[in-house]
Amino acid sequence: MKGISKQFPVVLANDNVDFELHSHEIHALLGENGAGKTTLMNILSGVYTPDKGEVYVDGEIARIRNPPDARRYGIGMVYQHFSLIPVFNVAENLWIGEKRGGIRLNYAQIKTSIGETAKHYGIEVNLDKRVEELSVGEQQKVEILKLLFRGARVLVLDEPTSVLTPQESLGLFASLAALKEEGKAIVVITHKLYEILGVADRVTVLRRGKVVFTSPAAGLTREVLTRAMIGAELEVKGVQLTKVESLGSLRLQSVSVRGDRREAAVVSLSLEAKRGEILGVAGVAGNGQRELVEATFGLRPMEAGDIFIDGKRMTGLGTKGRINAGLGYIPEERRTRAVAIGFTLGLNSVLHDHWEKPYVGRGMLSLNPIRRFTRSILEKFDVKGGSENAAARSLSGGNLQKFVVGREVLRGPKYMLAVNPTSGLDVAATEYVRSVLVDSRNAGLGIVLVSEDLDELLALSDRIVVMYKGKLSPSVDHRDFDKLKIGSMMLGEGF
């Protein structure tokens, strides 16, 4: 890729970027959020066309105007959010878009053709199984197999380990190494520096749309790459978990919850989170974590069971009653669930408390107390680019997340439900949010931390429980943390 530039209405995503990829190579593409990584690879895979620059394949200019063009050059991309149809089986998903075989489908012939490709590359997957029945790791295999079946020789993977267990990540990297030996050219977009240093041959770092660093991976350190990504030294504080005397607990007793399709999402589950601790909830996405959190906060009805805050039964109370009892919530979907995106930051700061003094008087909002509270959030939590009168949509993802975390912490809850609180954040914002959670825990806040990032849970939690198919494992104390063992539990071992 030579001199690639791409301008969007408010941002120059790629600024005269040169990027080179060889066969027999795994090339890591790093950078903070908004650095231009995915945009660059979307240009390579035909989703976007560049404003300037050219793409060359084997020394010749490649006319890539759309994904079918990219496919003709053997280029394919596996996105962080898979593009599979859940109710179709694996073979049907892989055959979508194929023009081979005429109007009538010969299913046996389709399976034979796909099976030959799967066998050649050593990818084991049940072609008759519906995608919705597969684990996340198996779905990712299907996405990779789809590219290989279509003749891809350049594979781009966007954050491929973000929702995988440690065992699934190891299996993925083994597969990528085998594909590299076959002569494939592989790009891995990632923020997990420690993972990629073990498998990459070369590393390129983008910052603000420009290439700032390219080097063979051998001998590189996380510190060198972090400095390249953010442009300065990042002071990473060690997590200090001080012993805090527990003053109460958030307790769930024999809770059962149904999902959106009336399936049993949470099955007779019990847990207890104490003040002054972080209880980590690990698990592959889709094992009931969302339903559990929503039921705890009062957003989803429970089919059975009870919830207690400091011994007081919350079961019959709605969300407002639970908020008043001291429960806070940091949802994952910050733009759709945490704020009203068109409201000002001032109004968003009191979404939970606009009915309480000092924010209301004589049936009207009291603007001065709201302004003071909003300014305290912006100042204490280093929220850049906003004021109390700015719309929430004006903040970047990282700053909006700091605003949400700051709002919830400064409200002074006793317990906090935090769901993937650093998802999608860059290195600096991730470190900041994690430090806030730990400081709040040390000040006596009880936190239920639900995260698909096992490394985050291992770094922050006092105890970890694993959720699998709506059930909960016994808790593991931080002194006994074993990443591979917890990863095995996430795959169902012991349930």
Q: Does the residue 242 lie in any domain?
A: no
Q: What is the DSSP letter of 340?
A: -
Q: How many CB atoms lie within 10 A of CB 190?
A: 20
Q: Mean pLDDT across the stretch 456-483? A: 93
Provide the pLDDT for residue 465: 96
> Domain range spanning residue 106?
2-230
Please check whether residues 256 and 218 belong to one and the same domain: no
Is the same domain home to 127 and 272?
no
In angstroms, the CA 85 to CA 384 distance is 40
How many degrees, rounded to 5, is the angle at CA 252 between CA 247 and CA 257?
155
Domain-located, residue 347: yes
One-letter amino acid at 251 equals R
Verify that 212 and 260 share a domain, yes or no. no
Looking at the structure, tell me whether residues 266 and 310 fall in a common domain: yes
Domain boundary among 196, 230, 264: 230
Give the pLDDT of residue 239: 57
Q: What is the mean pLDDT of the chain?
A: 89
- Residue 493 is predicted with a pLDDT of 85
pLDDT of residue 232: 63
Reported as a single tens digit per residue, the pLDDT across 51-107 is 999 999 999 999 999 999 999 999 999 987 788 999 999 999 998 877 766 667 788
Average confidence (pLDDT) over 350-373: 86
Residue 430: exposure state from Cβ atoms within 10 A (0-12, 13-18, ≥19): buried
Q: Are residues 63 and 202 in the same domain?
A: yes
Q: Are residues 170 and 283 in the same domain?
A: no
By CB atoms closer than 10 A (0-12, 13-18, 19+), residue 250 is buried
Instruction: Report yes or no on 290 lying in a domain.
Output: yes
Cβ neighbourhood burial of 245 (10 Å; 0-12, 13-18, 19+)? exposed
Among residues 353, 453, 460, 339, which one has the least CA distance to residue 413? Answer: 353
pLDDT in tens, 254-287: 999 999 888 899 999 999 999 999 999 999 888 9
Looking at the domain assignment, is residue 400 inside a domain? yes
Element (H, E) at 235: none
Shared domain check, 111 and 259: no
Specify the pLDDT at position 242.
Answer: 66
- At 222 the pLDDT is 81
Q: What is the pLDDT of residue 382?
A: 86
